[in-house]
Amino acid sequence: MNDTLKSIMGRYSCRAYTGAPLSSEQIKAISDAALAAPSAVNRQPWQIIVISDKAFIEEMDAEGMRILAEAEDKTTYERMMSRGGKLFYNAPCLVIVAASDDSRGVALDCGILSQNVSLAAYSLGLGSCIVGMAAVPLGGPKGAEFKARMKFPEGYSFGMGILIGAAASEGKAHALVPDKLTVL
């Protein structure tokens, strides 16, 4: 099996990070993988924001958990508490994909970029998790402040987030489910 297929088959959603910072070389490789993502008619309907300021990530994490704790439906909050009580699982790097608009194909393009980043992280020996939960603090009372600090482009919306860092424990890729496949 070649290296690309090994990354695809081995990558898993990491939900526990050591918190150790990424090297500048790792951040560059991940950033390049994001920039290399294809998009419909090469529109590149995104702005990529790489946050490696751990204190900033932890501040957004705390605000997101506060919002979830105050929500009427506690389902998501309880799930996050059962996983260690952190929205971003102690990841030292958060990649935010800001979407230029919500026109047809933009969500798909942001998903492709997210997969590029996640596979690049795995190939570098790092854990990753594609997450939508960054929308919680960005959509909350401090959202405008957070967006200003990360230079979130005006007129864009949250597309996706990807957590990256050294895994605190070994994970396993999900099992393949052959019943989900039809080959004609």
DSSP labels, 58-120: HHHHHHHHHHHHHSS--HHHHHHHHTTS-SSTT-SEEEEEEES---TTHHHHHHHHHHHHHHH
CB-CB contact of 37 with 110 (8 Å):
no
Q: Where are the domains of the chain?
A: 3-7+14-168
124-181 tens-digit pLDDT: 999 999 999 999 999 999 999 999 999 999 999 999 999 999 999 888 888 999 999 9
Which pLDDT band holds residue 36 (cuts at 50, 70, 90)?
Answer: very high
Euclidean distance between the first and final Cα of the chain, in Å? 24
* CATH class for the region spanning 3-7+14-168: alpha beta
Q: What average pLDDT does the chain have?
A: 95
Residue with tokens 């929205």: 87
Q: pTM value?
A: 0.94
Percent of the chain with pLDDT over 70: 100
Which pLDDT does position 104 carry in this prediction? 80
Identify the pLDDT of residue 102: 73
Residue 12 CA to residue 33 CA, distance in Å, equals: 18
